[in-house]
Amino acid sequence: MSASGDSARGERGSANRSKAASPGRRKGARAKPETRLGMVRRARRINRELADVYYYAHPELDFDNPFQLLVATVLSAQTTDLRVNQTTPALFAAYPTPEDMAAADPELLEELIRPTGFFRNKTKSLIGLSAALRDDFAGEVPGTLEELVKLPGVGRKTAFVVLGNAFGVPGLTVDTHFGRLVRRWGLTDQTDPDRVEAEIAEIIPKKEWTDFSHRTIFHGRRVCHSRKPACGACPIAELCPAYGEGETDPEKARKLLKYEMGGQPGQRLRPPADYPGRPAPGPSADQPADPGAAR
């Protein structure tokens, strides 16, 4: 990525963030109900604005191949990507292939993944999916939704993470952040992940599904928090019907920003080259996971 490209994106991001101090659209400010066409246009503008701010948006799990991403995604349930990234180096050193993990001693595997929580159920899933990969797919992670969801412990969300980031197949990752934000933005009122996925798929162009997922999740982790969103520092405040649910004072809102937006380390120990923040710290008993970033 060129320095001029970084500069241009940074300028656009700064311009977007400056809008937050005086948003043109506040909660309850619309004079008449929004039309379907108006909502679709607003959704796509949200996507474009977030693309400028989070030009570096990426999966926040460290991985080198589809198998590692699949395992890391299963481990990410009910914990943070940071905690998973601190756990997987030792895990993949011990069990680098599906064949190795399928033959693992459950008690030893449990100890390795214990920091991620729910380690007994996750151990069963990891051994089960590894055995299925070994026996049914010649040790290779399949590249279709239909085959992935047949693996133990793998649902549509996990499958779309793997498809989008390991195989380049567009997919919407409806985690807790994604669902919360698209409802807050008024793009859907559904709570069931499959229904959320279906409705957003009709709004956002298919080629943008994976990137829109990353951008939305990034925004949820960094700015639009569940309990206290940083409305006054939000780059899409003028597009959000829920503006005002959180802190609107720009200075106070900036103090709520997390990760690189707040000058703090990210969640990946090995982030992409264009990531503007600091890598996360490695495994340490003194490094608690941030519960606010859990999926």
List b or e across 191-202, with b for residues whose CB sees 16 or more CB atoms inside 10 angstroms: eebeebbeebee
Catalytic residue among 81, 157, 211, 258: 157
How far is it, in rounded angstroms, from Cα 227 to Cα 214?
A: 21
Catalytic residue among 62, 81, 175, 211: 175
Q: Show the tokens assigned to 191.
A: 């709570």
How far is it, in rounded angstroms, from Cα 175 to Cα 57?
A: 16
Supply the DSSP symbol for 163.
H
DSSP characters for 7-56?
HHHHHHHHHHHHGGGS-S--TT--SSPPPHHHHHHHHHHHHHHHHHHTTT
Residues 228 and 242: beta-carbon distance below 8 Å? no
* Nearest alpha-carbon partner for 45 in 24, 27, 28, 59: 24
* Nearest alpha-carbon partner for 50 in 211, 176, 168, 265: 211
How far is it, in rounded angstroms, from Cα 125 to Cα 284?
A: 25
Catalytic residue list contains 175? yes
Catalytic residue list contains 62? no
Q: Which amino acid is at 59?
A: P
* Owner of token pair 């991985």: 63
Q: Show the tokens assigned to 166.
A: 């390991």
Residues annotated as catalytic are: 157, 175
